[in-house]
């Protein structure tokens, strides 16, 4: 059963959907969208995955972060720290549910980095984690995000307005630090033709994690822009959480 849900935060309301199988207790997969994304995912992948997981006895929750999709605030109000705070609130809500048997995490791009940072803080509460092209290169890609312009209050990223506070927050972080804190099951998927998060950085983050399962998708882009590629990613992800 798919239910609309709202989660309150100190800064506003997050909105999204909770998919619940008809069971007394079940694992719950929390899904984190990426930069400029929303709770349906690239090619509606989060919706499709949530339905497949529900059919196999696994619940899921997919929320718009504050400033994205249908949630409160504007995109320019968002920082990485704010999204991580939102992720913590979602996880704690899921942990409080009497029906939650285990917790799984799925994150794409910046959502994958949010997931990995959350796993450092709640390493024993997350039993499985799947990352799609996690954007650990965000500090190095800051010119791509804000453009080659002088310091300003806000920046135009392909029609999305981002704040200087967001930029400073990203530049202050080392996303590779302490990745090995999380020691439970981990799968990472990365396309070899990813121009946004270059495939070569997978060599660096794979060295930092604890025994990840890694799948490279030949010729796939950052958003898996063919039917075959997105279907492969969805199938790999569902198999990982179901088995």
- For residue 43, which of 195, 240, 236, 227 has the smallest C-alpha distance? 227
Tell me, what CATH number does 224's domain have?
3.40.50.1820
DSSP state at residue 64 = P
In this prediction, residue 172 has a pLDDT band, given cuts at 50, 70 and 90, of very high
pLDDT of residue 165: 96
For the cut 90, the answer to whether the pLDDT of residue 121 exceeds it is: yes
Domain count, the chain: 1
pTM of the model: 0.97
Cα of first residue to Cα of last residue in the chain, in angstroms, is: 21
In this prediction, residue 242 has a pLDDT band, given cuts at 50, 70 and 90, of very high
Domain region containing 228: 2-242
pLDDT of residue 180: 96
Measured distance CA(94)–CA(18) in Å, rounded: 10
For residues 156-180, give the mean pLDDT. 95
For residues 170-181, give the mean pLDDT. 96
Can you tell me whether residue 35 is helix, strand or coil? Answer: coil
For the cut 90, the answer to whether the pLDDT of residue 194 exceeds it is: yes
């Amino acid at each position: 059963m798919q239910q609309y849900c709202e989660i309150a935060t100190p800064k506003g309301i997050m909105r999204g959907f909770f998919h619940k199988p008809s069971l007394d207790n079940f694992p719950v997969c929390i899904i984190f969208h990426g930069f400029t994304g929303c709770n349906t995912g690239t090619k509606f992948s989060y919706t499709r995955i949530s339905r497949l997981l529900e059919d196999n006895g696994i619940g899921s929750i997919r929320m718009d972060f504050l400033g994205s999709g249908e949630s409160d605030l504007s995109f320019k109000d968002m920082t990485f720290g704010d999204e991580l705070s939102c992720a913590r609130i979602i996880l704690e809500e899921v942990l409080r549910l009497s029906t939650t048997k285990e917790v799984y995490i799925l994150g794409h791009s910046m959502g994958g980095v949010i997931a990995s940072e959350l796993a450092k803080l709640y390493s024993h509460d997350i039993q499985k984690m799947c990352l799609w092209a996690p954007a650990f290169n965000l500090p190095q890609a800051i010119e791509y995000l804000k453009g080659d312009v002088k310091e300003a209050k806000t920046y135009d990223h392909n029609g999305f307005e981002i704040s200087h506070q967001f930029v400073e927050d990203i530049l202050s972080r080392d996303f590779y630090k302490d990745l090995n804190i999380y020691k439970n099951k981990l799968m990472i998927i990365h396309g070899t033709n990813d121009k946004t998060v270059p495939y070569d950085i997978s060599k660096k983050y794979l060295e930092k994690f604890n025994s990840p399962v890694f799948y490279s998708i030949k010729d796939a882009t950052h958003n898996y822009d063919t039917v075959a590629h997105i279907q492969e990613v969805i199938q790999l992800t569902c198999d990982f959480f179901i088995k």
